[in-house]
Amino acid sequence: MELFEENLHRFGFSSREKDIIRLLRKGLNRKAIADVLFIATNTVSRHLQNIFTNADAKNRVELMHKLDHNGGGQLRLSAVRICY
């Protein structure tokens, strides 16, 4: 598995968050992501807030750097999701 995809899994992102991150990686902006996923731009913004918080990233560049490199191993406690 590619390091990017492994790190997506390590951070415990939801499938919708993963969809948004993959579209971000392709260079799409919030409006374009909303159009592709048939959701509101505000919904994309909310997902991005959660993504940045869980990845402890300040912006898209930092997020992509963490996912493309070995930054996925350093998780914040808030990024860990417990499933029963």
Residues 41-75 have pLDDT tens digits of 999 999 999 999 999 999 999 999 999 987 655 54
CB 24 within 8 A of CB 64: yes
Task: Report yes or no on whether pTM surpasses 0.75.
Answer: yes
d(CA 6, CA 42): 28
Domains of the chain and any CATH numbers: 3-79 (1.10.10.10)
